Amino acid sequence: MKKLYYPLLILTFAVSSYGQTKTNMKEFDPHFAHTVYFWLKNPDNPDDRKAFETSLQKFLDNSAYAKTNFIGTPPQASRDVVDGSFTYSLIVTFESAEAQQNYQDEAPHKLFIEESSDLWEKVIVYDSKGI
């Protein structure tokens, strides 16, 4: 029983810390998805990682436009086609391209960039409209 307890405890913590909870769960909006990959300058620095995660979560908690969001890190790649070179990924959905543009211009997004842009060396964005 003890062998199962610790992995379940870690999983519960991970989901409650980074996943959607019942109090903040919103329905995935298929109209517009904004996917961002970040490469930190010092990906092995725990202080940089904590600062980035804190700033990103604060931004998402205060965004008036993001409907759903997912923050991730690369898993251990099991196939050659999987690119695990990034440090963090972010997927955010919006009801429209206009809502996504408003998100780009809102104060919490600008504050996130101000607080965190010195931490990353590369950012790639992929936007998609639902079909």
What's the confidence (pLDDT) of residue 76?
Answer: 85
Q: List phi, psi (to 5°) of 123.
A: -140, 135
Q: List phi, psi (to 5°) of 24.
A: -120, 10
Report for 10-19, 41-50, 71-80, 97-106: range of highest mean pLDDT = 41-50
- Alpha-carbon gap, residue 71 to 53, rounded angstroms: 9
pLDDT > 80? residue 43: yes
CATH of domain 31-76+84-129: 3.30.70.100
Task: Return all residues near 31 (Cβ < 8 A) that are at least 6 apart.
Answer: 93, 94, 95, 96, 129, 130
Q: Which DSSP category does 46 fall into?
A: H
pLDDT tens readout for residues 46-71: 999 999 999 999 999 999 988 888 99
Sequence spans of domains, the chain: 31-76+84-129
- Nearest Cα neighbor of 62 from 8, 112, 1 is 112
